[in-house]
């Protein structure tokens, strides 16, 4: 059986996914916490982009905030996609550099035994894997806010890509959680 590859991004109504800590405000609620906890329970491998790795490696190993996620992300095996890093650059526990072709690496990883693989901390990584047909589920957690500025997951020039809605829910603070799969045809 093939392993599932997922990604989840916090999103603003105007499509911003960069630095959600600048626009989440008080919209993170218990339902989102429960949802993320259930997702973490299935994930045993994380894929990260270079920039996200740098940001998270500078924060999660030394913070006392959000210990549930901190314990998870500090101990889970992490594979980092980067054209500039060398293996010695990865000093965060359980981190390894993806050497060679990213898509081939992910195809091979999905064939190996294990639980769910999650792409975290890398919008370009998520975009590439979705467009390559390797992403099984993309969850967008839409916060009730207009961020105004920031990077978006899908840039101008992204090819038309059809998605199928696999699930949706609304939380008490007005967040909408939308889970999609790539739709072929």
Tens-of-pLDDT digits for all 185 residues of the chain? 799 999 999 999 999 999 898 999 898 889 998 988 888 899 999 999 999 999 999 999 999 888 889 999 999 999 999 999 999 999 999 999 999 999 999 999 999 999 999 999 899 999 999 999 999 999 999 999 999 999 999 989 999 999 999 999 999 999 999 999 988 76
Predicted TM-score (pTM) of the model is 0.94
Residues in the chain: 185
Distance, CA of 148 to CA of 12 (rounded, Å) = 9
Give the strand pairing for 176-182 and 137-142.
antiparallel
Which residues, other chains included, contact 167 with Cβ-Cβ below 8 Å and sequence gap of 6+? 177, 178, 179
Report angle CA 170, 171, 176 to the nearest 5 degrees: 45
What domains does the chain contain, in order, with CATH numbers?
A: 5-182 (3.40.430.10)
Torsion, Cα 83 90 152 60, to 10 degrees, reads 180
């Amino acid at each position: 059986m093939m392993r599932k590859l997922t990604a989840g991004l916090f999103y603003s109504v105007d499509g911003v996914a960069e630095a959600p800590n600048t626009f989440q405000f008080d919209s993170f609620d218990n339902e989102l916490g429960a949802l993320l906890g259930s997702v973490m329970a299935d994930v045993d491998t994380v894929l990260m982009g270079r920039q996200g790795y740098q940001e998270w490696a500078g924060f999660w190993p030394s913070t006392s905030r959000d210990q549930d996620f901190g314990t998870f992300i500090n101990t889970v095996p992490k594979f980092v996609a980067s054209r500039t890093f060398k293996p010695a650059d990865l000093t965060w526990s359980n981190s390894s550099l993806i050497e060679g072709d990213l898509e081939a690496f992910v195809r091979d990883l999905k064939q190996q035994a294990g639980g769910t693989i999650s792409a975290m901390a890398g919008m370009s990584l998520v975009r590439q894997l979705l467009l390559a047909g390797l992403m099984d589920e993309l969850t967008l957690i839409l916060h009730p806010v207009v961020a105004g500025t920031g990077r978006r997951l899908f840039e101008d020039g992204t090819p038309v890509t059809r998605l199928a809605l696999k699930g949706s829910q609304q939380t008490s603070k007005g967040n909408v959680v939308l889970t999609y799969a790539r739709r072929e045809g």
